[in-house]
Amino acid sequence: MKKIIKFEKDDCNPCVMVSNFFNENSVSFEAINPFDHPEIAMQYKVRSVPTTILLNDDDELMRIIGYQPNELNQMIESL
């Protein structure tokens, strides 16, 4: 099953932009703060926010760092 997880911080403007992009396109995602959950951030090798990852079960299909609308559209099309 495919799913999107997004690593974000509350005070990060690009993080908000990615969330708004997904919300405007009615795409569900799991938001994780890497500072609150460092073990999950380490598992996915996240080094900056926002980092958005498309997973199929546990396999990473796509990773986007920052707010990149064209790539986010590609991610949505891959769902």
| 40-75 confidence digits (pLDDT tens) | 999 999 999 999 999 999 999 999 999 999 999 999
**34 lies in some domain:** yes
pLDDT in tens, 23-41: 999 999 999 999 999 999 9
> What is the strand order of the sheet 30-32 is part of?
30-32, 2-7, 51-56, 59-65
**77 lies in some domain:** no
Residue-level pLDDT at 27 = 98
Q: What pTM was estimated for this model as a whole?
A: 0.96
- Provide the CATH number for the domain around residue 15: 3.40.30.10
Residue-level pLDDT at 17 = 98
Alpha-helix runs per DSSP H in the chain: 13-24, 38-43, 69-77
Domain that holds residue 46: 2-69
Residue-level pLDDT at 33 = 98
Number of domains making up the chain: 1
What amino acid occupies position 40? I
Q: What are phi and psi of 71, to 5 degrees?
A: -70, -35
